[in-house]
Chain A
Amino acid sequence: MDSFILNSPLSPFPIFPKSLNPVKSCSPSNIKLNPTKLPIYSRIPSKKTEKCNSLFCLTPQGPPPSITQSLSVSEKVQSLDFEFKSLPQPIDRVKRLLHYATLLPPFDESSKIQENRVMGCTAQVWLNVKMDDNGVMRFRVDSDSEITKGFCSCLIWVLDGAEAEDVLMVKTEDLIEMNIGFQSRGNSRVNMWNNVLISMQKRTKILIGERGKKEEEHKTLEAFSSLFVVNGGCKETKSRINRFGKLLKDNSMNELDMLTKNIT
Chain B
Amino acid sequence: MMLTTMEGAVLKVPPSFRTIKPNPNHTNRTFRTVPSATASAPAPLTTDTKLGPGSLGHLTRPDFPILHQELNGKRLVYLDNAATSQKPTAVLNALRNYYESYNSNVHRGIHYLSAKATDEYELARQKVANFINASDSREIVFTRNATEAINLVAYSWGLANLKEGDEVILTVAEHHSAIVPWQFVAQKTGAVLKFVSLTEEEVPDIEKLRETLSRQTKLIVVHHVSNVLASVLPIDQVVSWAHDVGAKVLVDACQSVPHMEVDVKSLGADFLVASSHKMCGPTGIGFLYGKSELLSAMPPFLGGGEMISDVYLDHSTYAEPPSRFEAGTPAIGEAIGLGAAIDYLSGIGMQKIHDYEVELANYLYENLRSIPNIRVYGPTPSKSINRAALCSFNVDDIHPTDIATFLDQQHSVAIRSGHHCAQPLHRYLGVNASARASLHFYNTKEDVDDFIRALSDTTNFFASFK
Write the residues of chain A forming the contact surface with B, with a CB cutoff of 8 angstroms: 1-2, 35, 88, 90-91, 93-94, 98, 121-124, 144-148, 179-183, 185, 189-190
A-B pairs with lowest CB-CB distance, top 5: A181-B405, A90-B409, A145-B399, A122-B418, A122-B401
* CA gap between A146 and B458 in the complex, in Å: 13
- Residues of chain B lying within 8 A (CB to CB) of residue A122: 400-401, 404, 417-418, 433
Contact indicator A94/B433 (Cβ below 8 Å): no
B354 vs chain A, min Cβ distance (A): 30
Listed residue (B28, B72, B410, B464) with the most chain A CB atoms within 10 angstroms of its CB: B28
Where chain A touches its partner, the secondary structure class is loop
- Residues of chain B lying within 8 A (CB to CB) of residue A185: 25
B406 vs chain A, min Cβ distance (A): 6
Give the contact-size bracket for chain B. Answer: 20 to 34
* CA gap between A145 and B401 in the complex, in Å: 7
Partner of B406, one of A2, A94, A189, A190: A94
- Residues of chain A lying within 8 A (CB to CB) of residue B401: 122-123, 145, 147-148, 190
- Residues of chain A lying within 8 A (CB to CB) of residue B432: 124, 144
Any chain A CB within 8 A of the CB of B32?
no
A82 vs chain B, min Cβ distance (A): 15
Contact indicator A90/B72 (Cβ below 8 Å): yes
Any chain A CB within 8 A of the CB of B236?
no
Write the residues of chain B forming the contact surface with A, with a CB cutoff of 8 angstroms: 25-26, 28-29, 72, 398-402, 404-406, 408-410, 417-419, 432-433, 461-462, 464-465
Contact indicator B405/A180 (Cβ below 8 Å): yes
Report the nearest B residue to A148, measured CB to CB: B401
* CA gap between A121 and B421 in the complex, in Å: 9
B66 vs chain A, min Cβ distance (A): 15
Contact indicator B465/A35 (Cβ below 8 Å): yes
* CA gap between A57 and B394 in the complex, in Å: 36
* CA gap between A189 and B83 in the complex, in Å: 14
A91 vs chain B, min Cβ distance (A): 5
- Residues of chain B lying within 8 A (CB to CB) of residue A98: 465
- Residues of chain A lying within 8 A (CB to CB) of residue B464: 1-2
Contact indicator B25/A94 (Cβ below 8 Å): no
Partner of B408, one of A148, A181, A189: A181
Q: A190 with B399: in contact, given A144-B432, A146-B462 (CB under 8 Å)? A: no
* CA gap between A4 and B26 in the complex, in Å: 25
The contact sample of 14 A-B pairs, CB cut-off 8 A, is: A1-B464, A2-B465, A93-B409, A94-B410, A122-B401, A123-B399, A124-B432, A146-B398, A146-B399, A146-B465, A147-B399, A181-B406, A182-B405, A183-B29
